[in-house]
Amino acid sequence: MKKSLAVVLAALAFTVLSSRASFADTAIEAAALRTVVILENIAQIASDQKANCDGMGTSLNQLADSTATERAQLAAVLATATPAEKKALDAKYAARIHTAQQQLMDGMKVCGSNPRVIAAMQKFGSLPK
Quote the domain boundaries for residue 102: 2-123
81 burial type by CB count under 10 A (0-12 exposed, 13-18 middle, 19+ buried): buried
Report the number of distinct structural domains present in the chain.
1
Q: Is residue 128 assigned to a domain?
A: no
Q: How do residues 101-125 score in pLDDT, each as one tens digit?
A: 999 999 999 999 999 999 999 999 8
Give me the count of residues in the chain. 129
Q: Is residue 129 assigned to a domain?
A: no
Q: Is residue 10 assigned to a domain?
A: yes
Q: Is residue 44 assigned to a domain?
A: yes
Q: Is residue 53 assigned to a domain?
A: yes
Q: How do residues 19-63 score in pLDDT, each as one tens digit?
A: 334 444 788 888 899 999 999 999 999 999 999 999 999 999 999
Taking the C-alpha atoms of residue 32 and residue 50, their distance in angstroms, rounded to an integer, is: 27
Q: What is the pLDDT of residue 21?
A: 41
Closest CA relative to residue 106, chosen from 37, 54, 45 = 45
